Amino acid sequence: MEELEMAIMNIIINAGDCKNHVYTALNNANEGNYEEADKEMQIANDALAKAHDGQTIFLHKEANGEKIDMSVLFVHAQDHLMTAISEKNLIEQIIELRKVVNTLVK
């Protein structure tokens, strides 16, 4: 696999890891395990930062005049990154709501 494809796969893998960890965090919050939920969210944030850093490399190259070949794989990576960001943001809000609901149900 060439360097460009490896960089694209890095975005896909880290964005996928982010999504996995935010859903694990949500499951923990649903069960009242907030400490575990916080740990999972931190891991998700770290994975998202890695994915975003991968994207930034492409943005810097393009800004410096280097032609970046667009491919279906690159578009797929961008899709994963953007949905990971959206899902993480929504799940953070859901977890906060879940904390309120869990205190009312007890």
- In the chain, what's the furthest Cα-to-Cα distance? 59
pTM: 0.89
Mean pLDDT calculated for residue range 56-82 = 89
pLDDT value at residue 4: 82
- Hey, how many other C-beta atoms are within 10 angstroms of the C-beta on 55? 20
pLDDT grade for 68, boundaries at 50, 70 and 90: confident
Q: Of 24, 34, 20, which is closest to residue 101 (Cα–Cα)?
A: 34
53 is in an annotated binding site: no
CA atoms within 13 A on the CB side of 106: 8
Write out the H or E segment, with its range, that includes residue 88. Answer: helix 72-105
Q: Of residues 21, 52, 60, 76, which has the active-site annotation?
A: 76
Domains and CATH numbers, the chain: 3-105 (1.20.58.80)
